[in-house]
């Protein structure tokens, strides 16, 4: 090997800071990646796209009886605002937010378990609730070592209208229900605006078949509180290594490299790219996505959103190289899916942490759970795959999307559109 793991690890040390969609830090990470590309001798371009932004000006949750208690909460983004003085209403615990749970909640503030999915949100509103509370974490969390989730309503929620909401800790939610308050007061004042997120784009022309393109993608944004090294500084570093490799070994087919922003808010960067570059989709023979890698303890995976022969090819290569990898024909909850939705065959590589070995999406996404050796092994296999595919005489992957994958994509991306 060639020390690629060490280089990748060094890059993670540089970009391992919180870089949430639309933030200054996200832009800074984009510029750093563009600099890395330029240092390899290629061009890089930042393509901006608009994303929504919210800022909570005031948030408070109070239990008014049997005793007064103020409970720490965060405002739910894009859920609207209450009047300055808040809304005082009766309280109801509605568990999963099923129809039966929601009986008689008109005019009340409701506590719901877990994330408020769009269908739950719709039911809460139809039942006439005037505010909602959700909770994050577990009842055994150490408050000093955990954060309350920053949550927001997304586009599929918005069509149902606004209903102000907050998030609290699991323990506080449990104690709230135990106290059985008759009335509570919820205060939330927030402002919505627009910001820019960025995709970083670089291209290497093919030597023999420049009209055919293979596209690499990895998101570089993080969730709130997360340094985003496992998810997904690692993928960003791995596709940069693919670029280095193909600068040293010029590719037969053209290669495009995309480091996309705002994945964690619903694949916004890749969705923007496929829309803005719709006329270029046709020439993409294969999309190679890398999202999550590096855990010392874990398993390498490949998700194939395309013809099953591609899955067989990866199984075959794994056996040939003696590299353990579990393959699945499925959609992957990542940037591969908007491309697959446009008919582009896609493969996503990942190394998942074993249960408990690599926490993510919170402050525990840390370099100390990853290693250069782990990154190097995953990178080595992806490079082997890329060498075969990029250099193949005839492109071996059919550019068709099988019916089972069309259905899986539809379920993943469009199930809310149909409602």
Q: 231 or 307, CB closer to Zn ion? A: 231
Torsion of Cα atoms, 134 then 140 then 144 then 145, to 10°: -90
Q: Cβ distance 135 to 103 under 8 Å? A: no
CB count within 10 Å of CB 392 equals 14
Residue from 36, 149, 221, 291 touching Zn ion (CB under 5 A): that is 291
Minimum distance, C-beta of residue 163 to Zn ion, in the bound complex (Å) = 29
- Choose the binding region for Zn ion from 122-130, 168-176, 230-238, 274-282 (rule: CB under 5 A): 230-238
Considering the rule CB under 5 A, would residue 221 count as an interface residue with Zn ion?
A: no
Instruction: Show the CA angle centred on residue 32, arms to residues 256 and 367, nearest 5°.
Output: 100
Q: 204 or 346, CB closer to Zn ion? A: 346
Minimum distance, C-beta of residue 298 to Zn ion, in the bound complex (Å) = 15
Minimum distance, C-beta of residue 419 to Zn ion, in the bound complex (Å) = 26
Segments of 267-404 assigned E as strands: 284-290, 298-305, 325-329, 346-353
Q: 187 or 226, CB closer to Zn ion? A: 226
Q: Which residues are CB-contacts of 38 (< 8 A; sequence separation ≥ 6)?
A: 44
- Choose the binding region for Zn ion from 194-202, 285-293, 324-332, 397-405 (rule: CB under 5 A): 285-293
Minimum distance, C-beta of residue 304 to Zn ion, in the bound complex (Å) = 18
Minimum distance, C-beta of residue 182 to Zn ion, in the bound complex (Å) = 43
Q: 108 or 265, CB closer to Zn ion? A: 265
- In angstroms, what CA-CA distances link 46 with 34, 146, 259, 290, 316? 8, 34, 9, 20, 37
Chain positions 69 to 88 lying near Zn ion, rule: CB under 5 A, are none
Relative to beta strand 87-93, strand 109-112 is: parallel
The residue whose two tokens read 């408990």 is 356
Relative to beta strand 165-169, strand 325-329 is: unpaired
Chain positions 387 to 416 lying near Zn ion, rule: CB under 5 A, are none
Minimum distance, C-beta of residue 291 to Zn ion, in the bound complex (Å) = 4
303-329 exposure pattern, b = at least 16 Cβ within 10 A, e = fewer: bbbbbeebbebbeebbeeeebebebeb
- Choose the binding region for Zn ion from 71-79, 167-175, 227-235, 398-406 (rule: CB under 5 A): 227-235
Considering the rule CB under 5 A, would residue 232 count as an interface residue with Zn ion?
A: yes
Residue from 172, 231, 300, 376 touching Zn ion (CB under 5 A): that is 231
Q: Which of 12, 25, 32 is nearest to 367 (CA)?
A: 12
Minimum distance, C-beta of residue 306 to Zn ion, in the bound complex (Å) = 20
Q: 79 or 348, CB closer to Zn ion? A: 348
Considering the rule CB under 5 A, would residue 348 count as an interface residue with Zn ion?
A: no
Q: Cβ distance 8 to 16 under 8 Å? A: no
- Choose the binding region for Zn ion from 74-82, 185-193, 284-292, 307-315 (rule: CB under 5 A): 284-292
DSSP state of 165: E
Q: Using CA atoms, how far apart are residues 339 and 275, in angstroms rounded to an integer?
A: 10
Q: Using CA atoms, how far apart are residues 166 and 224, in angstroms rounded to an integer?
A: 16
Minimum distance, C-beta of residue 334 to Zn ion, in the bound complex (Å) = 6
Q: Using CA atoms, how far apart are residues 85 and 155, in angstroms rounded to an integer?
A: 28
Q: 105 or 382, CB closer to Zn ion? A: 382
**What angle, 0 to 180 degrees and rounded to 10, lies between the N-to-C axes of helices 24-39 and 4-15?**
150
Q: Number of residues in contact with Zn ion, rule: CB under 5 A?
A: 3
Minimum distance, C-beta of residue 215 to Zn ion, in the bound complex (Å) = 17
Q: 135 or 273, CB closer to Zn ion? A: 273
- Choose the binding region for Zn ion from 44-52, 200-208, 224-232, 382-390 (rule: CB under 5 A): 224-232
Q: Using CA atoms, how far apart are residues 368 and 230, in angstroms rounded to an integer?
A: 10
Q: 26 or 231, CB closer to Zn ion? A: 231
- Choose the binding region for Zn ion from 87-95, 160-168, 286-294, 370-378 (rule: CB under 5 A): 286-294
Q: 233 or 251, CB closer to Zn ion? A: 233
Minimum distance, C-beta of residue 226 to Zn ion, in the bound complex (Å) = 10
Q: Which residues are CB-contacts of 6 (< 8 A; sequence separation ≥ 6)?
A: 372, 376
Minimum distance, C-beta of residue 233 to Zn ion, in the bound complex (Å) = 10
What does the block give as tokens for 386?
């890329």
Residues in contact with Zn ion by the rule CB under 5 A? 231-232, 291
């Amino acid at each position: 090997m060639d020390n690629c793991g060490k280089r990748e690890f060094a890059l993670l040390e540089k970009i391992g800071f919180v870089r949430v969609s639309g933030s200054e830090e996200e832009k800074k990470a984009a510029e750093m990646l563009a600099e890395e590309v330029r240092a390899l001798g290629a061009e890089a371009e930042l393509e901006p796209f608009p994303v929504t932004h919210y800022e909570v000006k005031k948030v408070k949750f109070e239990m008014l009886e049997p005793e007064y208690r103020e409970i720490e909460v965060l405002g739910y983004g894009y859920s609207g605002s209450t009047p300055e003085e808040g809304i005082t209403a009766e309280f109801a615990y509605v568990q999963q937010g099923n129809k039966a749970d929601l009986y008689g909640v008109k005019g009340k503030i409701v506590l719901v378990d877990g994330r408020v999915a769009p269908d739950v949100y719709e039911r809460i509103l139809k039942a006439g609730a005037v505010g909602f509370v959700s909770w994050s974490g577990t009842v055994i969390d150490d408050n000093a070592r955990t954060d309350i989730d920053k949550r927001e309503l997304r586009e599929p929620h918005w069509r149902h209208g606004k209903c102000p909401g907050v998030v609290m800790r699991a323990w506080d939610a449990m104690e709230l229900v135990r106290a059985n308050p008759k009335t509570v007061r919820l205060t939330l004042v927030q402002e919505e605006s627009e910001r820019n997120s960025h995709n970083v784009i670089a291209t290497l022309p093919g030597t023999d078949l420049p009209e055919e393109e293979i596209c690499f993608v990895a998101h570089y944004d993080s969730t709130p509180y997360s340094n985003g090294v496992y998810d997904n500084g690692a993928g960003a570093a791995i596709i940069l290594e693919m670029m280095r490799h193909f600068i040293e070994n010029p590719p037969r087919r053209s290669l495009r490299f995309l480091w996309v922003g705002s994945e964690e808010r619903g694949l916004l960067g890749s969705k923007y790219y496929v829309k803005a570059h719709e006329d270029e989709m046709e020439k993409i023979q294969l999309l190679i996505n890398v999202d999550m890698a590096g855990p010392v303890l874990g398993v390498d995976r490949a998700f194939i959103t395309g013809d099953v022969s591609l899955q067989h090819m990866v199984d075959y290569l794994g056996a040939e190289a003696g590299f353990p990898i579990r393959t699945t024909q499925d959609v992957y909850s990542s940037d591969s899916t908007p491309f697959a939705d446009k008919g582009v065959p896609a493969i996503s590589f990942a190394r998942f942490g074993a249960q408990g070995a690599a926490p993510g999406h919170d402050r525990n996404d840390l370099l100390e759970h990853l290693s250069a050796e782990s990154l190097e092994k995953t990178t080595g296999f992806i490079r082997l795959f890329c060498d075969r595919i990029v250099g193949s005489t005839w492109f071996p992957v059919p550019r068709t999307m099988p019916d089972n994958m069309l259905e899986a994509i539809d379920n993943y991306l469009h199930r809310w559109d149909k409602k």
